Amino acid sequence: MVPTFIILFLYVFVSLGSHPTRAQTWVQAGYWFSGSEFPTSDINSTLFTHLICAFANLNSSSYELSISASDEQHFSAFTNTVKLKNPSVSTLLSIGGGSADPLVMASMASNSSHRKSFIDSTIKMARLYGFHGLDFSWVSADTGSDMTNMATLFEEWRTAIQLETRNASQSQLILTATVPYSMYSASSTYPIDSLRRNLDWLHVLAFDFHTPTGENFTRGHAVLYDPGSETNTDFGINSWIGGGLPANQLVLGLPFYGYAWTLVNPMDNTIGAPATGPAISSDGAMSYNNIRNYIQRYGADVVYNGTYVMNYCTFEATWIGFDDVEVVRMKVSYAREKKLLGYFVWQIPQDDNWVLSQAAAYANGDINQEKKRRLLLPILIPIVVVMVMILVGMLTYYLLKAKMRKRKRKTTIVQVAESSKHKANQKAAAGDFHNNDPNMMVYSLSDLEVATCGFSLENKLGEGGYGPVYKGVLANGQEIAIKKLSKTSTQGYEEFKNEVMLTATLQHVNLVRVLGFCIENEEQMLIYEYMPNKTLGYYLYDHIRRLMLDWRKRVEIIEGVTQGLLYLQEYSRLTVIHRDLKASNILLDKDMKPKISDFGMAKIFRKDEVEANTNRIVGTYGYVPPEYVRQGLYSTKSDVYGFGVLLLQIISGKKNSCSYGLHENLSLLDFAYELWREGKGMEFMDISLDDTTSSYKLLRCMHVALLCVQENANDRPTMLDVSSMLRNETKAMADPKRPAFSAKRNNDEESQSRLQVEICSVLRLMILRFRKSLLGESLGIFQHKNHINRPPM
């Protein structure tokens, strides 16, 4: 308790003293459209966290970005101008929009060389003009092939952005896109997986549901709810979340405009009244400031309708549906309640004296309170006063509680950093943790004991690289997996905390997530998310369970593992070599999505190191490449080799510890290679698999796998190559050379027979090395016998 308080105090002190406020977790974005001719210097930037400059266009022959001469002046000065009023505002350059040529957009996305020109030019332009990110608005995307191409485009875009960040001194560019209000609204569905993986967030265009040009009954064009139809914001948001996009990747659109309709009968002016078409303008569209002017000039009554959550006003035969202050508040409260990432407005210049922007920025976030406010305000002021007092009390209480919780969470990180005397650690902590918000929890031993019934045998899930793993259920019902580091471990307190921190920086949907840790009574434990569906090996090697993994599921697994490895090798700040990839280290979550686990053997490199040498060999027979066994050399290509073996197993359902072929004298790799050479690749496959309806083909996977397991590490593709080969983007693939390890071996993976000379002091060494590299000291530690011969953990 005492140290916690000291640390809390320290944290408060430190955060007051030197830390800027944390990165925004609530997005308040607004589009500025150059067509509005609203001066950028007049934008009230203080009301926004992100300002989006719209739109850049595509050159129809080169597919590079093009900005008209008149826009160029505004676009190039946009960031500097809006930052004058709010230095912490971030800016995005939006590309496309409603007037972009659908053919040019589709043609850009469909051809890999066009995509490359496009992507390169977007990054170049963003940097040139100082934008913090890019927003893609391809509103005409509709066909199935548009969606497939969009998925690829975002995949490549993110890759390019990540590569660029390595060179740039600035932080990584944000990448967002606009999407329709619902994932079902186009004639095909959006590529959710790619959107989720590659975009920071989506701008959901929750408006234009109904327009007076197309319908003959008055309707709200951006209603939150609609009892009579699925065309409403709530339905759309739920469809995205139901389709697999996390709520916190969605940013809700607020229209700062409405539509004017001409009523058939001025006396019948409800929602749903007969109308004959648009009023006031050719399509009826009217900015909020024009609507306010109109209301003032004609003294029109504004009605709020809580069933739909919309406003409308009528003057004679003109009926205008729009969002006024209370609707904006309700929608923002809705976004908070749904735990969305935030809201964006289209478009800023249409606001009237910042009224809507302020309503959005200051909405309190409780939709029920918002409803109550509307109901109670006109009734009795004393009741309101009492209620407000109660609410304020509650709010203060919750805010304080939330603040405490937040502090506690951060404390753990600061604790780790502060308690270290090493400058390097502090640097690592400051550099990696304050940015990353790893959400690490400190668990108490007693809670974990309760969660696992005293670490009972029934709750033991298995034995990992360096200690037993238990399943636990916390008091709040959350299921966790607890890895207990063996007591004989000589890994020190400092190293353990470092490990936790390093692991925490590795965050990816296809890596098992570390939730926190526990250090008490000489126990050191890591707490992971619990994976209910065991491991890939559990299914693959059982002739019944194997049937549960059809080709579609296996493709998802292959894709997931590929993404996990790409992250480890290419996209994370450090290069991580797992070194023990195998079917039993691929865990499956409740949706059978794969997550790579067990970083007990992992080795971390700085980005500029290519390979390293060790005297100690870790890993599992059959998955380790020859250069590693023979010379102790390993590089990212070692994991490519492991991936190749895994891929062969996934398509064949065969163990790599058995012998195959007529004379039962071939290893799995040789067997695959021989069949391939004889043109009989299909004989290798698991007969239950059917790839006819999939774009992933079994033979192509086999080809890729054989390239991955080639003897010479230089011949093996990189994971980036693998990823694009699997997706069938590289037309020509080399013929595979003979795989490594031609001699047969008799080892069973599941029996955990490892090549390792000692278990896992790698992590400790790795951490020492990491620390040294930060200190700029010699990096030779791995070759040093004294370290290598430390007692096993």
The helices-and-strands tally (H runs, E runs) of the chain is 25, 27
Which residue lies nearer to ligand NAG by CB, 244 or 272?
Answer: 272
Of 24, 162, 248, 305, the one binding ligand NAG (CB under 6 A) is 305
Give the strand pairing for 50-58 and 90-96.
parallel
Report residue 271 as tokens: 């929602």
CA distances from 203 to 66, 146, 157, 247, 732 (A): 23, 19, 17, 12, 38
Q: Is 99 in the site for ligand NAG (CB under 6 A)?
A: no
User: Is residue 268 packed enough to be buried (19+ CB in 10 Å), middle (13-18) or exposed (0-12)?
Assistant: middle
* Count of Cβ atoms closer than 10 Å to residue 223 Cβ: 25
Report the sign of the C-alpha dihedral through residues 721, 724, 730, 731, in that order: positive
Q: Please, are residues 324 and 311 in contact by the beta-carbon 8 Å criterion?
A: yes
For residues 412 and 397, what is the distance between their CA atoms, to the nearest angstrom?
23
Which residue lies nearer to ligand NAG by CB, 111 or 364?
Answer: 111
CA distances from 412 to 396, 402, 403, 440, 679 (A): 24, 16, 14, 7, 58
For residue 123, give the 3-state DSSP assignment.
helix
**Least CB distance from residue 607 to ligand NAG, whole Å?**
11
Which residue lies nearer to ligand NAG by CB, 119 or 675?
Answer: 119
Report the sign of the C-alpha dihedral through residues 767, 771, 772, 776, in that order: positive
Which residue lies nearer to ligand NAG by CB, 99 or 692?
Answer: 99
Q: Is 80 in the site for ligand NAG (CB under 6 A)?
A: no
Q: Is 271 in the site for ligand NAG (CB under 6 A)?
A: yes
Report the sign of the C-alpha dihedral through residues 78, 82, 87, 89, in that order: negative
The count of C-alpha atoms lying within 13 angstroms of the C-alpha of 22, restricted to the half-sphere facing its C-beta, is 13
The Cα angle at residue 90 between residues 89 and 96, in degrees rounded to 5: 135
Max Cα separation, the chain?
94
Which residue lies nearer to ligand NAG by CB, 4 or 276?
Answer: 276
φ, ψ (nearest 5 deg) of residue 320: -120, 120
Of 143, 170, 276, 783, the one binding ligand NAG (CB under 6 A) is 276
For residues 470 and 484, what is the distance between their CA atoms, to the nearest angstrom?
8
Of 77, 139, 163, 395, the one binding ligand NAG (CB under 6 A) is 163
End-to-end CA distance of the chain: 30
Which residue lies nearer to ligand NAG by CB, 360 or 640?
Answer: 360
Of the listed pieces 163-171, 315-323, 706-714, 715-723, which binds ligand NAG according to CB under 6 A?
Answer: 163-171
For residues 161 and 174, what is the distance between their CA atoms, to the nearest angstrom?
9
Which residue lies nearer to ligand NAG by CB, 72 or 520?
Answer: 72
**Least CB distance from residue 306 to ligand NAG, whole Å?**
4
Of 270, 615, 631, 783, the one binding ligand NAG (CB under 6 A) is 270
For residues 66 and 104, what is the distance between their CA atoms, to the nearest angstrom?
13
- Which residues inside 695-754 make contact with ligand NAG, applying CB under 6 A? none
Q: Please, are residues 322 and 287 in contact by the beta-carbon 8 Å criterion?
A: no
**Least CB distance from residue 264 to ligand NAG, whole Å?**
8
Give the strand pairing for 27-33 and 50-58.
parallel
- Which residues inside 31-50 make contact with ligand NAG, applying CB under 6 A? 44, 46-47
Of 15, 36, 59, 439, the one binding ligand NAG (CB under 6 A) is 59
Which residue lies nearer to ligand NAG by CB, 216 or 631?
Answer: 216
**Backbone φ/ψ region at 96: left (φ over 0), alpha (ψ -120 to 50), beta:** left
Q: Is 216 in the site for ligand NAG (CB under 6 A)?
A: yes
Give the strand pairing for 603-605 and 575-577.
antiparallel
- Which residues inside 6-35 make contact with ligand NAG, applying CB under 6 A? none
Of 15, 24, 36, 66, the one binding ligand NAG (CB under 6 A) is 66
Residue 746 carries which side chain, given as an amino acid letter?
N
**Least CB distance from residue 398 to ligand NAG, whole Å?**
24
**Least CB distance from residue 226 to ligand NAG, whole Å?**
10
Give the strand pairing for 441-442 and 514-520.
parallel
**Least CB distance from residue 647 to ligand NAG, whole Å?**
26
Of the listed pieces 149-157, 299-307, 557-565, 783-791, which binds ligand NAG according to CB under 6 A?
Answer: 299-307
**Least CB distance from residue 97 to ligand NAG, whole Å?**
17
Of the listed pieces 58-66, 95-103, 341-349, 699-707, which binds ligand NAG according to CB under 6 A?
Answer: 58-66
Q: Has 268 been annotated as catalytic?
A: no
CB under 8 Å to 456, separation ≥6 — which residues? none
**Least CB distance from residue 734 to ligand NAG, whole Å?**
20
- Which residues inside 108-147 make contact with ligand NAG, applying CB under 6 A? 111, 113-114
Return the CA Rg of the chain: 29
Binding flags for ligand NAG, 642-681, as an x/- string (CB under 6 A): ----------------------------------------
Which residue is catalytic, options 580, 598, 639, 686? Answer: 580
Which residue lies nearer to ligand NAG by CB, 270 or 631?
Answer: 270
For residues 503 and 526, what is the distance between their CA atoms, to the nearest angstrom?
10
Of 155, 156, 164, 326, the one binding ligand NAG (CB under 6 A) is 164
For residues 749 and 102, what is the distance between their CA atoms, to the nearest angstrom?
53
Of 102, 266, 306, 365, the one binding ligand NAG (CB under 6 A) is 306
Binding flags for ligand NAG, 327-366, as an x/- string (CB under 6 A): ---------------------------x---x--------
**Least CB distance from residue 34 to ligand NAG, whole Å?**
17
Report residue 781 as tokens: 């530690």
Q: Please, are residues 465 and 759 in contact by the beta-carbon 8 Å criterion?
A: yes
**Least CB distance from residue 168 to ligand NAG, whole Å?**
8
Which residue lies nearer to ligand NAG by CB, 274 or 661?
Answer: 274
Report residue 248 as tokens: 């916190």
Of the listed pieces 10-18, 61-69, 537-545, 698-706, which binds ligand NAG according to CB under 6 A?
Answer: 61-69
Which residue lies nearer to ligand NAG by CB, 119 or 740?
Answer: 119
Of the listed pieces 255-263, 302-310, 385-393, 751-759, which binds ligand NAG according to CB under 6 A?
Answer: 302-310
Which residue lies nearer to ligand NAG by CB, 41 or 688?
Answer: 41
Which residues are part of the catalytic machinery? 580
Q: Which residues bind ligand NAG (CB under 6 A)?
A: 44, 46-47, 59, 61-62, 66, 111, 113-114, 163-164, 167, 214, 216, 270-272, 276-277, 305-308, 354, 358
